[in-house]
Amino acid sequence: MEKVLYVVGNVDYRKGFMRESRANLVITEKRMIVAFLTPELAKKMKKEAEGGVRGFFKGVTKVYGHWNEYYGMEPEEILKESEENFEIPLREVREVKIKNDDSESGKRGELEVKAGDNHKFYTGDGTIRVRELKKVLEGLGIKVKAPRFSLF
């Protein structure tokens, strides 16, 4: 049974020139799944929360913390969550490059998956936990280029 090993939550996926969408990168033993946080999914989660101010905060928390739910979901279920979601088979991944953000210069953290097509992700709300991610990817036999020193 395929299980979710690691989730890089709340990243911005580069869809094209000057176009990005909020997504989560879900890593399993066989593939990476790019799961988008579509406006429809966000509305559905907010609607499920209670009304009033308390419900509003509960809904916002659920939307931004939704990536945690992927640990308890089946990979096929994650793929079907949105029509935009897609997978990258691990056998196609040649390398993953990770760059830390630099708050002084305003550069966001970056994660690039080099496969048949290159896929770029940028730090969204939070940071990429470089050490944890590197350990998981290298355990799957994927070459990782990452900064030598990272606080996370």
**What is the tens place of the pLDDT at every residue in 53-95?**
555 555 555 555 678 889 999 999 999 999 999 999 999 999 9
Would you place residue 148 in the very low, low, confident or very high pLDDT band (cuts 50, 70, 90)? confident
**What is the tens place of the pLDDT at every residue in 13-58?**
988 777 788 899 999 999 999 999 876 776 766 666 565 555 555 5
Q: Are 110 and 120 in contact (CB under 8 A)?
A: yes
pTM: 0.83
Q: What domains are defined for the chain?
A: 4-145 (2.30.29.30)
The CA R_g of the chain, rounded to the nearest whole Å, is 16
